[in-house]
Each structure stands twice: as structure tokens, then as C-alpha cells.
Amino acid sequence: MKKPMIELRQVSKIYHVGGQEVRALDQASLSIGEGEFVSIVGPSGSGKTTMMNIIGCLDVADSGDYILDGLSIDRYTDRQLAVIRNRKIGFVFQGFNLLTRLTAEANVELPLIYQRRSMSERKKMVAEALHLVGLYDRRKHKP
Ligand SMILES: Nc1ncnc2c1ncn2[C@@H]1O[C@H](COP(=O)(O)OP(=O)(O)OP(=O)(O)O)[C@@H](O)[C@H]1O
Ligand SMILES: [Mg+2]
């Protein structure tokens, strides 16, 4: 078996709501290898979003380990998590969360500016990414 790219080991997340404990994730474990496609399916309230937020480094677990690409990311600060999101994670949100006043190419370019890529490098990467998803011809369009 290939080495896992995303690995949750007995991860728990408890929310506190009005003195009540809500156990959103209770020692959940999961392993996803490179190149695998995985869907997380379950009833409303079963903890899918909680798990996705942890996998996407938008939130951290209360206990257990999360190993992403060989790195244990449990004790990272918000700033370190932001760097990991920028470098390693792509999100497609249900509501897209694109910047409506920016063109397609400017939306794609933004995280590369945060990565301090040069302008020529950004141009090349943006063109490649837009070609890949068939949006190059609409690069000047807004969302
Ligand atoms: N920010 C929060 N504060 C308190 N409780 C929360 C919070 N987020 C989620 N919960 C609770 O944690 C549990 C898991 O919620 P979660 O949103 O992860 O489920 P879900 O599987 O994504 O549900 P849905 O299918 O409705 O999106 C639920 O009982 C929910 O009420
Ligand atoms: Mg959800």
C-alpha cells in the first residue's frame, strides 16, 4: 500500500453549546493515499463538515493526530496552518468563495501572490491551471 497522504488517527472534536457537550467527532480514523478519490457520506450532523474542516486545516482537533503528507499538524498555529493551506490544499466550496470583483485569472493568481511567486511564474501557472479546466478563454471574465 502507498504511504497515506491524509491520515486521521482517533481524532475527536467536541463543541460546547450552552453547557452541553456535542461530540461532533469521536475518535475518527481515516487514511487516504496519493491519487485516491474519496467521498465522505453520512446523515446530517454526523460530523462531515467538522472532519473536512480538520482535513483542510481550517480547524484543529481536540485530540488525536492528523498527519498530512508526513507532517503532524496538530500543534500548528493559525499562521502555520495558513501556510499549509496555501501550499498543500485546494478547496472547492459549495458557495465557491471566489472574489466577485476579480477576473478568473486574478482569482487563480491570488494565492500565488501570497506565495511570493514572480510575475512571470504566476502568469505561466495561471494559464496552465485555466487551460486544465477549460476556462482559459474566459480568463478575463468575473465569476
Ligand atoms: N460550531 C459549532 N458549534 C456547536 N456545535 C457544532 C458546531 N459545528 C457543528 N456542530 C455540531 O456538531 C455535529 C456535527 O456537525 P457537522 O456540521 O460536522 O455535521 P455534518 O455531517 O456536516 O452535517 P450536514 O450534513 O448537515 O452538513 C452536529 O451535532 C452539529 O450540531
Ligand atoms: Mg456539513
**How far apart are the two ends of the chain, measured CA to CA in Å?**
41
Q: Are residues 76 and 111 in the same domain?
A: no
For residue range 10-41, what is the model confidence (pLDDT) as tens digits? 999 999 999 999 999 999 999 999 999 999 99
Query: How many separate domains does the chain show?
Result: 2
Q: Is 86 in the pocket of ligand 1 (CB under 6 A)?
A: no
Domain that holds residue 132: 92-143
Q: Are residues 9 and 33 in the same domain?
A: yes
User: Rounded to two decimals, what is the model's pTM?
Assistant: 0.82
Q: Are residues 99 and 49 in the same domain?
A: no
Query: How far, in Å, from the CA of 45 to the mean position of ligand 1?
Result: 5
Q: Are residues 114 and 77 in the same domain?
A: no
Q: How many angstroms separate the Cα of 15 from the Cα of each of 12, 87, 110?
A: 10, 29, 33
CB 71 within 8 A of CB 16: no
Query: What is the domain-level CATH number for residue 49?
Result: 3.40.50.300
For residue range 66-88, what is the model confidence (pLDDT) as tens digits? 999 998 987 788 899 999 999 99
Strand partners, 16: 21
pLDDT-based confidence at residue 1 (cuts at 50, 70, 90): low
Query: How far, in Å, from the CA of 109 to the mean position of ligand 1?
Result: 32
Nearest to residue 5, comparing CAs of 42, 48, 27, 37?
37
Burial class (CB in 10 A: 0-12, 13-18, 19+), 18: exposed
Helix ranges, the chain (H): 48-55, 78-88, 104-114, 119-132
Query: Which residue has the CA at smallest separation from atom 18 of ligand 1?
Result: 47
3-class secondary-structure state, position 72: strand
